[in-house]
Amino acid sequence: MRIVFLGTSSAVPTVQRGLSSLALLRDGELLLFDAGEGMQRNFIKAGIGMNRKMKVFITHMHADHCVGLLGLLQTMSLLGRDKRLDIYGQPRLKEFLLENMRIISFGLTFEVAIHTIEGEGVVVKEEDYCISCCEAKHSIPAISYRLDEFDRPGLFDLEAVKKAGIPEGELYGQLQRGQDIEYNGGTIKSADVVGPPRPGRKIGISGDTRPTDKLAGFFDSCDILVYESTYSHDKLEIAIETFHSTATEAATIAKKARVKKLYLTHFSARYDETSQLVSEAQAIHGNVEATDDLKTVDIPYQT
């Protein structure tokens, strides 16, 4: 699994940072979270590819999080995308996309399915992962997302079953599914030849929000939390006024949620560099990093 930060600035782009967008690549699929204006340049720079299996999730309808989707759709069409694209967001997203596509006379080369999210809970459930959402607290309706990979079965001790003389086939399957088997007059316990389930990875993505207890619960035990850190804590008043979070608040919610690693993002254009924000967050949470445009993070399975 890999995360590529495509845009890490809030509200306005800077020389160094584009508007919000994050690409999460896993098992050949791209999950794109937010698409601020101009994000497609970093999308191309990152070499992600315009015709891959892909889903898009939008946190809220502020321009710096969704306007880039139009340009991305158009570029994908110009490059001849032929794979269906699934887009998820609040009711206004569908309205925004359909109206703009009508006015601009988009000719899409691929099918787009726009899914409207009305409440909280599971948004997408696939064979090996799900994505759910939770209400955020912003100046307009906004949601945060969380990806949970399902636990994988434990490792099968092939050597042990071979040693016990068990023939390959259905009996292997039964053991792997957790069933004990009778063989050669004795019992072979599944637990003796199959290790404990291996935990899937859990990723939280805040979008724009004030910190809330509800979100602390929603992000519980994430391996990675990408959380907005628009301001340093000396600007708490502005953060409250504009419904954003400070780096201190990002670290506090990460600690409360027992998150393993916190990535700060969505920085106000006033910060040329982010060391002040990282330091104040590190005073609270032991594992914090700032994001930059095109920063890439590989996330191995946790052991």
By C-beta, is 64 or 293 nearer to Zn ion? Answer: 64
For Zn ion (CB under 5 A), the number of binding residues is 4
CA angle in degrees (0–180, nearest 5) for 252-257-261: 80
Q: SS3 of 69, please?
A: helix
Considering only 64-72, 196-204, 247-255, 267-275, which stretch makes contact with Zn ion by CB under 5 A?
Answer: 64-72
CB of 200 to Zn ion, least distance (A): 29
By C-beta, is 67 or 193 nearer to Zn ion? Answer: 67
By C-beta, is 64 or 249 nearer to Zn ion? Answer: 64
The H-or-E segment that residue 67 falls in is none
Considering only 59-67, 82-90, 147-155, 257-265, which stretch makes contact with Zn ion by CB under 5 A?
Answer: 59-67
- Contact between 55 and Zn ion by CB under 5 A: the answer reads no
What one-character-per-residue DSSP string does 4-47 give?
A: EEEE-BSSS--SS--BSEEEEEETTEEEEEEE-TTHHHHHHHTT
- Contact between 62 and Zn ion by CB under 5 A: the answer reads yes
Cβ burial, residue 1 (10 Å; 0-12/13-18/19+): buried
By C-beta, is 62 or 285 nearer to Zn ion? Answer: 62
Cα dihedral across residues 227, 228, 234, 240: positive or negative: negative
Instruction: Given the residues 27, 34, 64, 180, select the one marked as catalytic.
Output: 64
CB of 153 to Zn ion, least distance (A): 40
Binding track over 5-34 against Zn ion, x by CB under 5 A: -----x------------------------
Q: Segment 206-235, which members bind Zn ion (CB under 5 A)? A: 208
Catalytic (active site) residue 64: yes
The CA distance from 6 to 226, in Å, is: 13
Q: Which residue from 257, 169, 247 is spatially nearest to 213, judged by alpha carbons?
A: 257
φ, ψ at 244 (rounded to 5°): -120, -175
Binding track over 67-86 against Zn ion, x by CB under 5 A: --------------------
The CA distance from 216 to 99, in Å, is: 36
The CA distance from 115 to 100, in Å, is: 17
- Contact between 149 and Zn ion by CB under 5 A: the answer reads no
- Contact between 148 and Zn ion by CB under 5 A: the answer reads no
By C-beta, is 181 or 250 nearer to Zn ion? Answer: 250
From candidates 7, 17, 42, 64, binder to Zn ion by CB under 5 A: 64
List residues binding Zn ion (CB under 5 A).
10, 62, 64, 208
Catalytic residues: 64
